[in-house]
Chain A
Amino acid sequence: MAGAANESEFERARRVAEERRLVESAAQGSSGAFERLYRLHAGKVYGLCLRMTGHRETAEDCTQEAFVQAWRNLARFEARSSFGTWLHRIAVNAVLAQGRRRGERVGAEASIEDEIGETLADGTVGDTGAGMDVEAAIAGLPAGARHVLVLAGVYGYSHEETAEMLGVAVGTCKAQLHRARQLLGQRLAAAEGSR
């Protein structure tokens, strides 16, 4: 086990070093290095955008916008946080900007349920179908509550971090999370009852 753990740490260190090298190259103008960064992070960024928007096409737009913004601002990346964390923040901003342009239209016409079912075939959200229910229930939440639930509930950001990213007060963030959890609980209970 210790050997496996050491190997894992070694792999992680190697990955971090490789990512740092790619970021440096991309910051110097290498689109090839930036494409490698895209390949490494597209799944994480798209997952975040999809869960925050609840809409596949909007999530694709936000993912593209996030990477374009990242390219434009690479010179400002100071490596105080990881590139992935920095990219996450840019993606959140892209989702919020998209929401403002769209008048925060919740993605109802193209449910993410099929998308989640296709792409999480490794059973990440459980093998009983409950995860898919939760994804669908989250997608149906009001935008504000959904954003807070995804950032704080799913991705584990603190209330302070979530509030800062969303540009709301910490108290608002807590209230939205409480509301989101209540709504989610009710919807999941209703779904269980109907089965």
Chain B
Amino acid sequence: MTHPESDRRLDDVLQSMRGEIEPGRDLWPGIESRLEHRPLRPRWPAWAWQAAAAVALVAVSSLVTAAFVRQWSVPVVQAPAARPRVVPASYASGPALNADYEAARRQLAADLEQRLATLPPSARQKLEANLAEMRRAAEEINAALARQPGDALLEELLMNTYQDELGVLASVKQLTGTGVGPAPARQEKIRL
């Protein structure tokens, strides 16, 4: 049985053995008795992962932009007259945020327009695009939360979006302002 011919025969026999073998008894009752009869958590839709990835990407992109601008010490430039308005992410239908976060966000958002006007056009355009992307992601997550209220994973994703937006707003303030305090620490988790 060491010749190539017998090897081929053995291969043929082995490959012919893939057939199904039905159990001698019905195993289902034993399986069913061990199943936890509780609704499993709905699967996270693919777009939610894409939204999370997009938020992470724009956050990193914004920070890189901020670092770039800071490095080159760009002089103040005048904003164009007709510039699309940047609207920070709307979380109206999302879970209530704690007061500290809302106050910080309101403060940062309030002077966003003014501070963006001091950035060079390319950096401003990038930041605006990133904030718009965050707004879109937050709206999608909020819509999903409306359909699946209390979904822990979606809430966590929304919280991360809040954090990322806050980080970008703070970066804008840091790189354009004077005597401004540090950006909120990413580690300081927002509490619902």
Decide: A46 and B38 in contact? CB cutoff 8 A: no
Decide: A64 and B22 in contact? CB cutoff 8 A: no
Decide: B16 and A124 in contact? CB cutoff 8 A: yes
Task: List residues of B (12-61) whose CB comes within 8 Å of A's CBs.
Answer: 13-25, 27-28, 30-32, 34-43
Is B6 engaged at the interface, CB distance under 8 Å to the other chain?
yes
Contact among A31, A47, A74 with B21 in the assembled complex (CB-CB below 8 Å): A47
Closest CB in chain B relative to A120 CB, distance in Å: 6
Q: Which of A5-13, A37-45, A98-106, A168-176 contacts B (4 or more CB under 8 A)?
A: A37-45
Is B143 engaged at the interface, CB distance under 8 Å to the other chain?
no
Top-9 shortest CB links A-B = A43-B20, A185-B1, A124-B19, A47-B21, A29-B39, A153-B14, A189-B1, A119-B21, A46-B23
Count of A interface residues, CB-CB < 8 Å: 51
Alpha-carbon distance between A47 and B95 when the two chains are bound, in angstroms:
51
Alpha-carbon distance between A177 and B11 when the two chains are bound, in angstroms:
12
Alpha-carbon distance between A189 and B35 when the two chains are bound, in angstroms:
46
Decide: A29 and B10 in contact? CB cutoff 8 A: no
Is B2 engaged at the interface, CB distance under 8 Å to the other chain?
yes
Contact among A34, A43, A44, A126 with B13 in the assembled complex (CB-CB below 8 Å): A126
Closest CB in chain B relative to A77 CB, distance in Å: 9
Alpha-carbon distance between A194 and B16 when the two chains are bound, in angstroms:
24
Task: List residues of B (71-127) whose CB comes within 8 Å of A's CBs.
Answer: none
B38 and chain A: residue at smallest CB distance? A29
Decide: A42 and B16 in contact? CB cutoff 8 A: no
Hey, which bits of chain A sit against chain B, CB under 8 A? 27-29, 31, 34-35, 38-39, 42-44, 46-47, 50-51, 56, 59-60, 63-64, 67-68, 71-72, 74-75, 115-116, 118-120, 122, 124-126, 130-131, 134-135, 149, 153-156, 181-182, 184-186, 188-189
Count of B interface residues, CB-CB < 8 Å: 34
A74 and chain B: residue at smallest CB distance? B40
Alpha-carbon distance between A60 and B24 when the two chains are bound, in angstroms:
9
Q: Which residues of B contact A63 (CB under 8 A)?
A: 23, 27
Contact among B17, B18, B35 with A134 in the assembled complex (CB-CB below 8 Å): B17
Decide: B1 and A149 in contact? CB cutoff 8 A: no
If the complex has contacts A42-B27, A64-B34, A119-B22, are A28 and B15 also in contact, measured as CB distance less than 8 A? no
Alpha-carbon distance between A43 and B11 when the two chains are bound, in angstroms:
22
30 of the cross-chain contacts (CB-CB < 8 Å) are: A27-B43, A28-B39, A29-B38, A29-B40, A31-B37, A38-B31, A43-B22, A43-B23, A46-B22, A46-B27, A47-B20, A51-B17, A64-B30, A68-B35, A74-B40, A75-B41, A115-B21, A116-B21, A119-B21, A134-B13, A134-B14, A153-B11, A153-B15, A154-B14, A154-B18, A156-B18, A181-B7, A185-B2, A185-B6, A188-B10
B2 and chain A: residue at smallest CB distance? A185
